Amino acid sequence: MVAEAQVWKALEQIPDPEIPVVSLVELGVIRSIDVRNGHVRIEFTPTFLGCPALEVMKRAMEEKVAGLGAEPEVEVISDDSWSTDRITPAGREKLRAAGFAPPAPREASAPRLVQLQANVFRCPYCGSTETRLENIFGPTPCRSLRYCESCRQPFEQFKTI
């Protein structure tokens, strides 16, 4: 019989398809796992609704669960329960080491332009906060582009959601 801990362990092996340095568990997108009589129900919260990697993640989870000899069911929860605050401390550190500045904490109200233009975002390469916003948008919906004035390195900032 499959145990819940085994399922978590298996899902820890699935890399994020677009930022493979972090796993789905570290990204915090798995809200719950319910194991009953060989049936595994996973509640999964997308990062961005338009994320093209959703289907890939869903299939990868189903394959992992099937590999444990259980029957998978992945439910996509499209509410506000995922936030970048759910990225684990280990996940944040892996992002930073890979050159992605981790997201700022979520606030009660949605972020505003003036906050993104403030000098509070730290360069993942040299640690300076002398960085400026280059583009709110980046190569995937979850990233913005910034530039470090100290080490003259462009870098990607994980958007706060």
Binding-site ranges for other proteins (CB under 8 A): 48-52, 78-81, 83, 110-113, 116, 134-141, 145, 159, 161
Min dist CB 68 to other proteins, Å, is 24
Measure the CA–CA gap between 78 and 114, rounded to whole angstroms: 28
**15 φ/ψ angles, rounded to the nearest 5 degrees:** -75, 150
- Is 128 within 8 Å of 149 (Cβ atoms)? yes
Please tell me whether residue 154 adopts helix, strand or coil conformation.
strand
Largest CA distance in the chain: 57
Closer CB to other proteins, residue 151 or residue 161? 161
Of 90 and 136, which CB lies nearer to other proteins in the complex structure? 136
Q: How far is the CB of 137 from other proteins (least distance, A)?
A: 4
Residue 136 CB, nearest approach to other proteins (Å): 5
Helices 54-67 and 4-11, packing angle to 10 deg = 130
Q: How far is the CB of 76 from other proteins (least distance, A)?
A: 8
Question: Dihedrals φ, ψ of 7, to 5°?
Answer: -65, -45
Closer to other proteins by Cβ: residue 15 or 46: 46
Given a contact cutoff of 8 angstroms between Cβ atoms, the answer to whether 155 and 148 are in contact is yes
Residue 1 or 79: the one with the smaller Cβ distance to other proteins is 79
**Cβ 82 to other proteins shortest distance, Å:** 8
Per the CB < 8 A criterion, the answer to whether 30 and 42 are in contact is yes
Closer Cβ to other proteins, 1 or 113, answer by number: 113
